[in-house]
Structure 1
């Protein structure tokens, strides 16, 4: 995993979009946003390690998603567009990368800028409920990820809007970061 400030250039979303000079972001800085990270190598018994994290964090369900042209078929283009639209969830978003690579962008709530998180096999990323984020593949156009859920598997995005600003999960997220809410 590598995190850095996103350059906001209007080019292909699958490019690295790293500022020049680079502005790296530490795991500690991600933690302050509520983003959690582990590296669990895919070589060896990664499933046992994932099970430990799942038990500690009360994740009860899981599935695997293959985000690629082959894996999504005719829905590929529309799914890629929807994943990259800024949104939040009312549940944590948990992904363990098994194959391939891509990017999660999270909105730094204090500076109102994107932080790009480059993910590769072995990365386990947890985004808190209520954080604005988006996802895209990189130029390899393929990622296989294990998705973990506290309850029944669901993926309901809430695109950023005036309505999501007052969403209770967004409000709770802001309060957890020490940001006053109206």
Structure 2
């Protein structure tokens, strides 16, 4: 995993867009974004580590999804646009990368700057409920992820707007980030 501020150039969403300004894992944590690296090896030990994280964080369900032009076919372009449009969820978004690579962009609070997180095989990322974010494959055009869920598998996006800004999950997220920031000061 490597995190950095997005260069804000509006162009190919699969390009790196690295501004040259790094973001630390601690800074991500202050925004509620959690990260683990669990090497995916043939010995299966990674599965035990994923199971341990799932037990600790009460993730009850999981599935595996592949994203690429080859696997999504005609729905690829629409899907790529949909997940790249700025949105939030009322649940955590938990992704463990089994192969391939891509980007999660999260909005930093209170600056509203985009932080780009480049993830690849072995990276486990937890994007908190209520944070504005988006996703894109990188130029490799392939990612296989295990999605983990606290309850039944679902993916319901609330696209950014006045109504979503008032969503209780968004309000809770902002309170938590402000509390963490105040404690760190």
Q: Using structure 1 for the length normalisation, give the TM-score.
A: 0.96
Q: CA deviation at 1:112?
A: 1.0
* 1:49-68 equivalence runs, <5 A: 49-68=49-68
* 1:113-132 equivalence runs, <5 A: 113-132=113-132
What is the root-mean-square deviation in Å for CA atoms of aligned residues? 0.8
1:106 and 2:101 are equivalent in the alignment: no
* 1:53-92 equivalence runs, <5 A: 53-92=53-92
Q: Which residue number in structure 1 is paired with residue 134 of structure 2?
A: 134
Q: Which residue number in structure 1 is paired with residue 24 of structure 2?
A: 26
Distance in structure 2 (CA, Å) of the matches to 1:5 and 1:101: 18
Q: CA deviation at 1:70?
A: 2.1
Q: CA deviation at 1:5?
A: 0.4
Unaligned runs of 5+ in 1: none
Q: Which runs of 4+ in 1 moved over 3 A?
A: none
Number of equivalent positions:
177
Distance in structure 2 (CA, Å) of the matches to 1:64 and 1:127: 17
Query: What's the CA shift string for 1:56-96, capped at 9, x where partnerless?
Result: 00000000010111221221110000010000000000000
2:35 pairs, out of 22, 27, 37, with 37
Structure with greater proportional helix content: 2
Q: Which residue number in structure 2 is paired with residue 96 of structure 1?
A: 96
For 1:147, what is the secondary structure of its paired residue?
A: strand
Query: What's the CA shift string for 1:98-139, capped at 9, x where partnerless?
Result: 010000000001111000000000000000000000000001
Distance in structure 1 (CA, Å) of the matches to 2:8 and 2:72: 27
Query: What's the CA shift string for 1:20-47, capped at 9, x where partnerless?
Result: xx11000000000000000000014211
Distance in structure 1 (CA, Å) of the matches to 2:73 and 2:109: 35
Q: CA deviation at 1:7?
A: 0.3
Unaligned runs of 5+ in 2: 180-185
